[in-house]
Structure 1
Amino acid sequence: MDIFMKVSIISIGDELLSGFTINTNATWIGQELLKCGIIIDRQITVGDNSELIINQIDRCIQSSEIILLTGGLGPTHDDVTSIALYKYFEDKPIFDSEYWKNIEKYFTKRALSVPDINKNQALKSVKGKMIPNSLGSARGLHYNIKKTEIFAMPGVPYEMKSMMSKYIIPKLKSRVNNNLFINTLNTIGKGESSIAEQLEPIVAPYLKVCSVSYLPQIAGVDIRISSRDKKRLSELKDKIKHEIGDCLYSEKNEAIENILGALLSKNMMTLSVAESCTGGLLGHTISSVSGSSKYFVGGIVAYSNKIKRDILGVKEKTLTKFGAVSKQTAIEMAQKIRNLFLTDIGISVTGIAGPTGGTSEKPVGLVYIGLSSVNKKFAKKYMFHGDRDIITHRTKQAAMELVRRDLLGD
């Protein structure tokens, strides 16, 4: 089969349409299939309505070789995916008494009574195949019609992921020629338009054989390169890496906190943090990495001036003259936390996350990040845009990036 097989995702559930539930399933499926060289052709979301589901299946079958359905396989009245599939394929399922015994055992082990409503999950397709579910009671369904394969999975994320990993992805891999090569470069510190403009002269000569996508994230841009020509892709990737320099922090979709942790461990150095506007987010992110106790000693959330002064030891004169959000305060915060925790590096953040608190001189989004080590002390000024959550997220990303660059000698 052509590597560019057309794959459609049909996500089913009123909760997805209403916004009560975020469709993380489609995102995960897209990312996992991309690793196999498979690109999703279309994504569709429909409510819990069997006729709408049938209509979308009928539309997708016209152009798709693979259709992946998620959701609607539960036992309640609004779980209608299996009903839609049985009707579409004129399938007359039979009651699977052996599987019903398994469902009873599943509930009994958890000291739960078995509702009769779950009996519909023991129905077994006559025309299709049942996909095992090792993590729940709702089995999946697998049908073939002409050149199209249809897979239906539960909407529960961990059950869906299990079915994809164990049953569906192995089948799809066998249908793909492994000559679509995909590389992703993770960058930080520059926006999408800035990166694209910088790379345009380098990328342009390769566009006939390579596809380049710029995928903006909150604090940076992922550059995805794909091609059937492995040699040309490698050439382009090397040129992009050389051009963007230290803005590149990973080629493996690793989080920057993992990259930073590896650098600190490699250099056998320790880190402490003093946070104001991020309110503990920076320390939480750094400590979320397994093994971070080897290099992360701890931190202080110095949100108020009283804590900055009485606990960290920032001078009253500094706070009065320059203010809590200033280069001078950021440097002192970094120095004091390093001295208090006896670490090799101290990092500090102080700023105005908004939406209130800004002035004409110090607007919302103004942030200073300070760094103190044995041989240096400095602070860098940032001006972030967005709401409170975006500003705090960008601040903690920038703080980790500042330490990363310092460790690299930039």
Structure 2
Amino acid sequence: MLLALTHPGMRRSTYLYVVGGVMQACYLPFTTIVFRDRGVPLEAIGALGALNSLLALAAGPVWGHLADAVLGRVVAFRLAIVAAAAGVLLFALGPAAGIPGAALAAFAGAGLVPLLDAIGMEHLAEHGGDWGPLRALTSGSYALTCIASGALVAAGGAFVIGPIYGLGATAVLLGTAGLRVRGGFTATSSEAADQQRQRAAEERAERNEYPGGNAEIAVAGSWRNRFGTASLAFQRSPGLAPFLLLSLLANLGAGLFYAYGSLRIQELVRASGGGDGSSYVALAATIAATVEIPFFLAGAAIAARLGLRALYVMGLLGIGVCSVIYALSPSAELLVVARGLIGIGYSGMLLASVLSIRAIVPDELQATGQALFQSVSYGLAIAIAALAGGLIYGAIGSAPLFALAALILFACIPLALRVAAR
């Protein structure tokens, strides 16, 4: 599993996933608490989160088209890195409370992860391996970097975010020097592509492999039909619509936590006279990302042993129980430690979702199926959660918000036991 990542053909992707986690750890944990420090009301923070989620939702197809049909994946990835660094720098400098910079970073960020995954999965398809261990590298580097970035931001303030993110972006850009991939539009006929996918499916069946979040997810389908196959995916996959409904509801509940968990920690730290809370927030992110690592490393094995439905329910329980703790506990230290449950919940739900889409949707429509899942789960659901959560938090406080998150997550368990793939 891990040995595949040391293959000479995988070293570049391995490097990019590691430094990508370093780069993201210099910005993502601090956005909401910086807005709060700058006097942005909770309701406005929620509205900004919703708008940025919708902006990222709209930007995803743009980056995909640039990568597959116009610039190529490597050039588009570089452009996304530069744009993200510019956005984070504007956010750190603080014009208009950093709102324009956060918007640019959201637009660019919509291209970073999908394009990196497309590059990494193409290498996996060529040299063998699974996506889980590769994703675990990002969680590991993210966890380690959060400790250092939290200390730097606590000492130097929000301005520090710009330069340290810029250093991480530079390291990622250096890793793309000389990078070549074959992805994107080619003259390969549809018939030949279908035959190739059929042979791959037959080989998997012969090896009795458990369907995994592997390279086929990124490379199935041509660039010309990715935007026109959604209706076909629903027609040929009766279980897709119910599963997307589950994803919408579950990530609505999880999104309430993701959007405001850090603010609750900051609130308690400030109340106790412990500073701005950035080091606490960074430590919480470190704990969550660290817990993710073993689950991503052993994701396919866990799914094979427990089943996808049990794995999804485990994810719902992890985030739900953590939300209950956040609703009831007045201890910032306990909230930081409890974030380990988010690592279990996030990895469990993500793995079960990727593998469920892999099982529900035909191979030739995998790109469409995965894109629909991402759009519903991390675009629409997060936008609704950010907007509604800000109104609830601002009007009646944090306890009802996190209690509602837990209620939604627990209510999704019966649905998950019915519609997730077995």
TM bracket (short chain): under 0.3
Q: TM-score, normalised by structure 1?
A: 0.23
Higher-Rg member (1/2): 1
Q: TM-score, normalised by structure 2?
A: 0.23
Higher relative contact order (CA 8 A, sep 6+): 2
Structure with the larger helix share:
2
